[in-house]
Structures are given as C-alpha cells and as structure tokens.
C-alpha cells in the first residue's frame, strides 16, 4: 500500500472518529519512513486528540517550529523519560541512519541526545543498528582505574603467596 493511500485511510479514520486505527496506521508509516518527519507530526496530532500529551510530545519532539502546546507536550515527554537522554532516544524510536538528516534540526537534536547519553550514562547509541548492536559501552579507563586495578591484583597475589607459605608451614610442623 502506498504512503498516499495509507494517509487517505488515516484521514478517513480521523474523520470517522476512529483515532486508534489512525494511530496504528501512522505508527506503521513512521517506522517505514523514518526521515519523513511530517508523519511524526500527524501521529502527534492524533495522540493530542486522544489526550495523551506526553505521547504527542514524543512525536513532536523532532519538529523545529513548535507552538506553545507542542512545547508543553515535549516537556511532558521529557519528564516522562526522567530527562534521561538514553531513555528519550529509545522512546523517540528513530530507526534510520542519522547521516541524511545530520544537518537538520531533528538530526542535531538526535545527535545532542546521543552525545548526552554517552557523557551522562557512558552508553554509545548507534542509530543505524538494531537490537543489542544499537548500544555500546564507552571505554572509561582512566589512569586511576588502571593503578587501582594493578593494586588490587598485587594485593591478591600477596595474599595468595602468604596463604601458600602458611599451608606449607603447617605441613612442615605436622611432619616433625
């Protein structure tokens, strides 16, 4: 089914008050066409009409020119995610490659959230991957961590050596 055919069905669903069906159709389109941000706006409008402002904010979040209602809904979306950039990235469900939209408002916003997630949570978020491949851990080995690790290993080695000498001492005393 073409995008235009589906959008026509969405409009008919909205006109007949079947907002749930319109929402489901739009979710499918947003998933299939991640770069078409107008689909996200239409989905946000349906959520707004369904009286789910945080969900509306989720889909208006990448829109550049926002009304005061849209901004308030976006703030509710941020609060629903606890302001956590990683949770927000997951909730936004952008499933495309970031490069085609890198220089747009939406692209810069997504990249900013990714950078914040890396900085605040130590997680690398990859837009063009799925499942577990979507996340990576930031290697955070500082000099203090390396020295601390070596100190722990040295302490363990010393304790093992002391234990071995103690056991041999007991055996030697038992043989006498």
Per-residue pLDDT reduced to its tens digit, 47-68:
999 999 999 999 999 999 999 9
Task: Decide if 105 contacts 95 (C-beta within 8 A).
Answer: no
CA angle 119, 125, 129 (to 5 degrees): 170
Mean pLDDT of 109-134: 82
Under the banding of pLDDT at 50, 70 and 90, the label for residue 174 is confident
Under the banding of pLDDT at 50, 70 and 90, the label for residue 146 is confident
pLDDT exceeds 70 at position 27: yes
Which of 12, 14, 11, 46 has the alpha carbon at shortest distance from 27? 46
């Amino acid at each position: 089914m073409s995008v235009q055919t589906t959008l026509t069905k969405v409009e008919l669903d909205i006109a007949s008050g079947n907002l749930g069906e319109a929402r489901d159709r739009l979710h499918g389109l947003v998933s299939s066409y991640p770069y078409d941000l107008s689909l996200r706006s239409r989905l946000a409008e349906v959520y707004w009409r369904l009286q789910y402002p945080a969900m509306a904010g989720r889909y208006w979040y990448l829109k550049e020119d926002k009304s005061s209602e849209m901004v308030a809904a976006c703030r509710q979306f941020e609060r629903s995610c606890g302001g956590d950039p990683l949770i927000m990235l997951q909730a936004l469900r952008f499933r495309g490659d970031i490069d085609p939209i890198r220089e747009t408002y939406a692209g810069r916003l997504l990249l900013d959230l990714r950078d914040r997630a890396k900085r605040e949570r130590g997680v690398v978020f990859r837009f063009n991957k799925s499942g577990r491949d979507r996340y990576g851990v930031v290697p955070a080995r500082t000099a203090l961590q390396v020295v601390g690790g070596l100190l722990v290993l040295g302490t363990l080695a010393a304790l093992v050596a002391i234990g071995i000498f103690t056991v041999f001492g007991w055996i030697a005393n038992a043989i006498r």
